[in-house]
Amino acid sequence: MTITKERILQNDPLKIADRCDQCGAQAFVRVVFGMDRDLLFCGHHFNRHEPILMTQYPHVRVTDERHRINHKPSLSANAD
Ligand SMILES: [Zn+2]
């Protein structure tokens, strides 16, 4: 059985080991340009580049897991 790169990219959730291609922070967004080209972004850098990316590459496939950023509330969130 052959697993294509595309299949791996489609089904593979972002992991802690996936790093932003711009700054090396944990990646929360994957932008796939085709069969074997993708870019990883942290939330900060995807926010910065999203308007240009979506304008110039409207057909890219985006895995957006930014909702996982700060998923656990900090302990101080409940402090008075
Ligand atoms: Zn970054």
Does residue 2 sit within a domain?
Answer: no
Structure confidence by residue, pLDDT tens digits, 5-63: 544 455 578 999 999 999 999 999 999 988 788 999 999 999 999 999 999 999 899 99
Q: What is the pLDDT of residue 3?
A: 46
- Domain span holding position 46: 17-68
Q: Which of 69, 67, 38, 66 is nearest to 53 (CA)?
A: 38
3-class secondary-structure state, position 55 = helix
CA distance 10 to 71: 23
Does residue 24 sit within a domain?
Answer: yes
Q: What is the pLDDT of residue 79?
A: 55
Does residue 7 sit within a domain?
Answer: no
Does residue 80 sit within a domain?
Answer: no
CA distance 3 to 27: 24
Q: How many A from CA of 72 to the centre of ligand 1?
A: 21
Does residue 42 sit within a domain?
Answer: yes
Q: How deeply is 62 buried, as exposed, middle or buried, from its count of CB atoms within 10 A (0-12, 13-18, 19+)?
A: middle
| Structural domains in the chain (count) | 1
Does residue 75 sit within a domain?
Answer: no
Q: How many A from CA of 59 to the centre of ligand 1?
A: 22
Amino acid at 28: F
Does residue 23 sit within a domain?
Answer: yes
Does residue 3 sit within a domain?
Answer: no
Q: What is the pLDDT of residue 13?
A: 84
Q: Is residue 72 over pLDDT 80?
A: no
Q: How many A from CA of 75 to the centre of ligand 1?
A: 26
